[in-house]
Chain A
Amino acid sequence: MKNGFAIQTEILTKVYGSGNTEVVAMQEATMNVSRGEVVALLGPSGSGKSTFLTAIGLINPPTSGRVFIGGQLVLEGSRAYTNLRAFRRKHLGFVFQKANLIPFLSALENVEIALEINGSSHRAARIRAMELLDYLGVGDRAENLPSMLSGGQQQRVAVARALANHPSVILADEPTAALDSQRGRQVMELFAQIAHEQSAGVVVVTHDHRALDVFDTLYEMEDGVIRKQSEVVAS
């Protein structure tokens, strides 16, 4: 790590289509997230939040602009400076609106798989996965398949999977959408706790305004443009 930023983006732009069908989904989006910082990205549907998240998540590269993770230049436009999949495996954790668990693996195995593909031994992966599930309060459902878990339990398993490899960046897209307010707040607080304990940068895309006090910084996105909320308020 060359500086204290977990994530840095420089004027990210994403354009879909061309000519008459051209759509600018993200326009000169710049954001710096420090280690241990928890950032909320707010905005209406279609504002480009998910596009931004998938760009910094190295899933959907931007048309132009640069992405740094942990101070390392990873993407410049669509050009990758490293093996993106391997980089995601080691440094990024994802949580989605839907839990997105693998249906044929138990809760424990869903967490284990993230560890094993990152080189952990089966035994070590099992111990770490069980610790995380216990920590998130679903240890007693470790052997259950996702179909046997409630939405909240599934989401906590997904969080455990995202945390499994001690990522330096956690990206969450509407992680509380399927949860009640109490569970939603618990998850947000959990992100904050992890960010602070593990010095990870956390970016959460959310519509949920009830737990905004948990975040260190608020960003708002509209028509593909990101602004800090203080700037939003000032304007």
Chain B
Amino acid sequence: MNLAVKDIRHNLGRFALTALGIGLLLMIVMGMGGIYRGIIEDATLLPDRIGADFWIIQRDTRGPFAELSRVTPNLVHRALAVPGVRRAREFVYHTIQRERGGKPLRVAVLGLSWPIDKGEWIPLTAGRPLGQNHFEMIADQTLGFQLGELISLGKDTYTVVGLTKSMISSGGDGIGFFTVADAQSIQFDTAGEAIRLERAAREARGEHSEFVTKQPSLLEQAVRPAQELPAIARPQISAVLVSVATGVDSRCVADIIAGWGDVSVYTKEGQRDLLLKGSVEKIRRQIGLFRVLLTLIAAIIMALILYTMTLDKIHSIALLKLIGAPNTVILGLIMQQGLLLGLLGFGIAFAVGQRVFPMFPRRVILAETDLFQLGMIVLVISVASSFLGIWKAMNVSPNEALS
């Protein structure tokens, strides 16, 4: 006869509510683990997927995901000239905030190096990669754009030609993929009045310049668009992504480029580590500690519940001892209830979490390893929590059945 099941059957409502409570608590622990995993996944998504062996970034910076990095576009050609380099791509990355439907809309703008990178590596859920150098974008579905929708950013309008799922920046913003030219156009979008004022200021500065004194016709050039003036550099890019040829040691190539005085080089792993130890480190640790704390709280609550459940049965346990029930019967009664409570709690946590977590603003990733780890923790908690009840049961005297 299974006494644990008989007792549960007798107090089914209370047990079900207790299991639900434990389940919801475990769901929070599970969710914390999922948020923790999601932050890591989001942070490392781009370095993992973009398919570069190493990143060339502004000297002494930590790259575009950690801070502002600016390098000249011609760095692409310099990199391509290094023996062993198969491909070098421009990379532009910045975040913008606009309004959409009265609500703030944050977009992580990522520029792809057209035409060698049309976004074929991006996992699309609908649509296609970029098909032209301008006015097309691929958007993550968290941005709320529809396929074919026209989105105005700056002075231009972009057509959403592809949709992605879970392409999120380390800050949790959905990524919009454009060509580098469009990404820069969005980044350096300036109002007409500001352009006119800058040209006027340029002209004013020129009037006091020694060059203009010697050659007054130069002043006429000052009011021309900036991109037509060789003295003004082209807009800078965030980084250059380098892929090496098959069979070439990427470390050797990276060492060569790292020797240049104006840039720093990070491998994919280096960039990944930088992200994890840099921008997301504090939040990662905070959530990790919070998760540990919640696990401890869950353990304490489960122990108290099992202890209370044992106290409720203490007379029956004394009676069982009185009529000669061996300790294994009493131990089984408490331990089985503890395990069942843990198992049901875990099941409820998983089932409810599956429905609730997708509604969270940031990704909650329930990795199999995390679920297995939590399952083991719940198992240990269930057994350990039972010990308090078992200790109480072992110490009860059969005499108490007579009181």
Contacts and interface: CB of A to CB of B under 8 A. Distances in A.
Nearest to A98: B402
Interface string B311-350: 0000110011111111001000000000000000000000
Interface stretch (B1-9, B58-66, B354-362): B1-9
B10 interface: yes
A48 to B, nearest CB: 14
B398 interface: yes
Contacts of B9: 104
A232 interface: no
Nearest to A118: B324
A109 B1 contact: yes
B324 A59 contact: no
Nearest to B9: A104
Contacts of A54: 399, 402
A28 to B, nearest CB: 23
Contact of A86 (B3, B6, B324, B397): B324
B401 interface: yes
Interface residues of B, number: 23
A49 interface: no
The CB with the most chain B CB atoms within 10 A, among A54, A100, A112, A145, is that of: A100
A109 B324 contact: no
A113 B324 contact: no
B11 A104 contact: yes
Interface in A77-97: 85-90, 92, 94, 96
A161 B324 contact: no
B7 A114 contact: no
A50 B324 contact: no
Contacts of B7: 104
B317 to A, nearest CB: 9
A151 to B, nearest CB: 17
A117 B323 contact: yes
Nearest to A126: B1
Contacts of B325: 85, 89, 113, 117
Given A112-B1, A117-B329, A88 B6 contact: no
A230 to B, nearest CB: 30
A60 interface: yes
Given A86-B326, A104-B11, A113 B399 contact: no
Interface of B is mostly: helix
B324 A102 contact: no
The CB with the most chain B CB atoms within 10 A, among A50, A92, A96, A105, is that of: A105
Given A89-B325, A103-B10, A104-B11, A113 B401 contact: no
B319 A100 contact: yes
A173 B316 contact: no
A96 B402 contact: yes
Interface in B1-43: 1, 3, 6-7, 9-11
Contacts of A112: 1
A116 interface: yes
B3 A113 contact: yes
B389 to A, nearest CB: 16
A34 B241 CA distance: 99
Interface string A50-78: 10001000011000000000000000000
A87 B322 CA distance: 11
A120 B235 CA distance: 88
Nearest to B315: A100
Contacts of A113: 1, 3, 320, 323, 325
Nearest to B323: A114
Given A89-B325, A118-B324, 16 more contacts: A50-B402, A59-B397, A59-B402, A87-B324, A88-B322, A94-B323, A100-B315, A103-B316, A104-B9, A104-B10, A104-B316, A105-B3, A105-B6, A113-B1, A116-B1, A117-B323
19 contacts: A59-B322, A59-B397, A59-B399, A85-B321, A85-B326, A88-B323, A89-B324, A92-B324, A96-B402, A100-B319, A102-B320, A103-B316, A104-B6, A104-B10, A109-B1, A113-B320, A116-B1, A117-B323, A117-B326
